[in-house]
Structure formats: structure tokens, C-alpha cells
Structure 1
Amino acid sequence: MHETALVKNLIHRVETVCADENAERVVEVAVWLGALCHMSPEHFTDHFRQEAAGTCAEQAHLRIETSDDINHPQAQDVLLQSLELELETEDEAGP
């Protein structure tokens, strides 16, 4: 359950950025997995794909960095490092 909440929160933040930037879609999501977040890159990817279905991040490429530092202050977290967005063109954005 903890993993699902972490990924849902991440997807919510990604959708907020998409809306704020008037992006059509997310091309790439770069994340950092803390040593104590209890998710392997494969497990994270499964959760991400499930939660991203139907969102601007549905087709996003994932770039995942993992940490093995259990003493890192954010060792239990999943951190959004960066997003690459595909922005609407002026013609698509409307008047």
C-alpha cells in the first residue's frame, strides 16, 4: 500500500506540472528511488504504468536511479528528478 501511495503522489505532481505548462504529454520521467522505499526499478515501473494509465504520463519513458544509502535523509522516498514534456504548439493551444 505504501508503494501505491508514493506512486499516486508522483503521478499527481506530474499531472500538475503538465497542466501548469500546457503540455500535451510527458516524454520522460526521471525518478530517484531511496534505499528504503521498498521498490525495485521493476516494481516501481509496474506501479507507475498502472497509475499513469489515462494520464499525460501514460507513454512516458522512465529513467530510474536507485540509491543504496540507507542513511540518506530521504531513503524512504521516491523523488521526482525531472520531466521532459511535449508542449502544445501555438496552433494547438487555441486563441
Structure 2
Amino acid sequence: MHETALVRNLVQRVEKLCADEQAQRVVEVAVWLGALCHMSPEHFTDHFRQEAAGTCADQAQLRIETSDDINHPNAQDVLLRSLDVETEDEASP
């Protein structure tokens, strides 16, 4: 349940950023997984795909960095590192 809430929150932030940028879709999402967030990259990907279905991030590529530092201040978190979006101008031929 904790994992679902973390990923749901991240997808909501991605949707807001997408709307703020008036983007058509998210091309790539780069995230950092803390050592104590209890998710492997595969597990995160599964949760992300489920939560992003039907959103602007539905088909986004994922770039996932993992940490093994259990003493990092964000060791329990999933952090959004960067977001690459496509705007209407970029989508037009």
C-alpha cells in the first residue's frame, strides 16, 4: 500500500507539471528510488504503469536510478529527478 501511495503521488505531480507546461504528453520520467523505499525498478515500473494509465504519462519512458545508501535523508522516498514533455508545437509536423 505504501508503494502505491508513493507512485500515485508521483504521477499526480507529473500530471500537474504536464498541465503547467501545457504539454501533450510526457516523453520521459526520471526517478530516484531510495534504498528504503521497498521497490525495485521492476516493481516501481509495474506500479507506475498502473497509476499512469490514461494520463499524460501513459506511454512515458522511465529512467530509474536506485540508491543503496540507507542513511540518505530521502532513503524512504521516490524522487522525481526530471521530466521530458512534448508540447503541441513539438507534436506538429
Q: Alignment length, in residue pairs?
A: 91
Letter in 1 for 2:12: H
Cα deviation, residue 71, structure 1? 0.1
- Name the residue aligned to 2:77: 77
- Name the residue aligned to 1:51: 51
Q: Which has the higher Rg, Structure 1 or Structure 2?
A: 1
Cα deviation, residue 19, structure 1? 0.4
Could you say what secondary structure the match of 2:35 adopts? coil
Report the Cα distance in structure 2 between the residues aligned to 1:29 and 1:16, rounded to whole angstroms: 13
Cα deviation, residue 88, structure 1? 1.2
Letter in 2 for 1:18: C
Report the Cα distance in structure 2 between the residues aligned to 1:69 and 1:89, rounded to whole angstroms: 41
Cα deviation, residue 89, structure 1? 1.8
TM-score with structure 2 length normalisation?
0.95
TM-score with structure 1 length normalisation?
0.93
Cα deviation, residue 73, structure 1? 0.2
Q: Residues 1-12 of structure 1: matches in 2 within 5 Å?
A: 1-12=1-12
Unaligned 5+ segments in structure 1 are: none
Report the Cα distance in structure 2 between the residues aligned to 1:36 and 1:86, rounded to whole angstroms: 33
Could you say what secondary structure the match of 1:24 adopts? strand
Q: CA RMSD in A?
A: 1.2
Report the Cα distance in structure 2 between the residues aligned to 1:89 and 1:83, rounded to whole angstroms: 17
Unaligned 5+ segments in structure 2 are: none
Runs of 4+ in 1 over 3 A off after TM superposition: none
- Name the residue aligned to 1:61: 61
Cα deviation, residue 37, structure 1? 0.1
